[in-house]
Amino acid sequence: MKTALVTGANRGLGFEISKQLGSNGFHIVAACRTLAKAKETVSALAAHGVEASPLEMDVSQTNSIQAAFKMLSAKYQQLDALVNNAGVLLDFGTPASELSLDNLRESFETNFFGAFATIQTFLPMLKKAPAARIVNMSSDLGSVAAMTDHHSEQFAVVAPGYRASKCALNTLTIQFANELANTNIKVNSASPGLARTDMGGENAPFSVEQGAAPALWLATLGDDGPTGGFFSQTLGGKKHAW
Ligand SMILES: NC(=O)c1ccc[n+]([C@@H]2O[C@H](COP(=O)([O-])OP(=O)(O)OC[C@H]3O[C@@H](n4cnc5c(N)ncnc54)[C@H](OP(=O)(O)O)[C@@H]3O)[C@@H](O)[C@H]2O)c1
């Protein structure tokens, strides 16, 4: 049975991705900020017939990531998929001139440094799988093309720290994909579009099922699938401009 580690698995898109990957035959490692949340998630997934294990992992804490790796590598040989889903949106509507450095750093701790440390830490387990997939949950808001195109729906969206952190996350996708190009590991960015979660809000156009679709596809890519790409639900799962 293949194993997938999903960060921020307890709610929103992380839960939906876990549910759907589980229904596709993966054993889910539900990584959550606290063990209590992880255990609750495992029970909620079991109610959908999904086999999962709880893992405490706060991606903004390097010690927590390392402890999680120690736990997991003692239990499992390999990891077939890693979905870096955990994310925060802390500065919606705050112009860059008013954004505090602390707020900006907090966004980066989870959305960028957290994803970086998780990939780097779990890479030895991903390398042991015959065909591993890394998916970074990005956003259309991370696209430089969208930020600079007056006609883009995202052009005027104000969330400087969030946008910068997702843009940086996309850079990470490219850097790891290039480094791992001749290995068994594919690395891609997925954008869910605007989906109905606590973050996306109840009026978002996409359901969680729709928002989860690009990540699900990228986590289960065949050997002929892409690496180093950025795919968005807003474009029906097609390639998004960086
Ligand atoms: N929804 C959208 O429209 C949308 C659009 C573009 C991109 N995205 C991206 O998609 C991903 C999931 O978003 P969502 O809409 O499902 O958001 P959400 O409903 O706010 O859920 C965020 C998840 O991330 C977890 N998380 C946050 N910080 C964490 C940390 N330090 N360590 C571990 N887990 C942490 C949360 O855990 P707690 O419950 O403990 O807080 C929660 O499980 C995010 O990366 C987001 O940026 C979402």
Q: What is the pLDDT of residues 191-218, one digit of tens each?
A: 999 999 999 999 999 999 999 999 999 9
Its pTM stands at 0.98
Q: Of the listed 2, 19, 37, 166, which one is catalytic?
A: 166
The whole-number average pLDDT for the span 211-227 is 98
CATH number (domain holding residue 122):
3.40.50.720
- What is the 3-state secondary structure of the chain? CCEEEEECCCCHHHHHHHHHHHHCCCEEEEEECCHHHHHHHHHHHHCCCCCEEEEECCCCCHHHHHHHHHHHHHHCCCCCEEEECCCCCCCCCCCHHHCCHHHHHHHHHHHHHHHHHHHHHHHHHHHCCCCEEEEEECCHHHCHHHHHCCCCCCCCCCCHHHHHHHHHHHHHHHHHHHHCCCCCEEEEEEECCCECCCCCCCCCCECHHHHHHHHHHHHCCCCCCCCCCEEEHHHCCEECCC
Ligand 1 atom closest to the Cα of residue 59 is 32
Tens digit of each residue's pLDDT (9 = 90 or more) over 50-107: 999 999 999 999 999 999 999 999 999 999 999 999 999 999 999 999 999 999 999 9
C-beta of 200 in contact with ligand 1 (< 6 A)? yes
What's the domain count of the chain?
1
Q: What is the pLDDT of residue 89?
A: 98
Residue nearest to ligand 1 atom 25, measured at CA: 8
Q: Is residue 235 part of a domain?
A: yes
Q: Is residue 141 part of a domain?
A: yes
Answer yes or no: 75 catalytic.
no
Of 28, 42, 85, the one to substitute when testing ligand 1's pocket (max ligand atoms within 8 A of C-beta) is: 85
**136 Cα–ligand 1 center, Å:** 12
Q: Is residue 231 part of a domain?
A: yes
Answer yes or no: 76 catalytic.
no
Question: In this prediction, what percent of the chain has a pLDDT beyond 70?
Answer: 100
Domain span at 123: 5-9+58-63+77-239
Of 11, 110, 163, the one to substitute when testing ligand 1's pocket (max ligand atoms within 8 A of C-beta) is: 11
Q: Is residue 68 part of a domain?
A: no
C-beta of 16 in contact with ligand 1 (< 6 A)? no
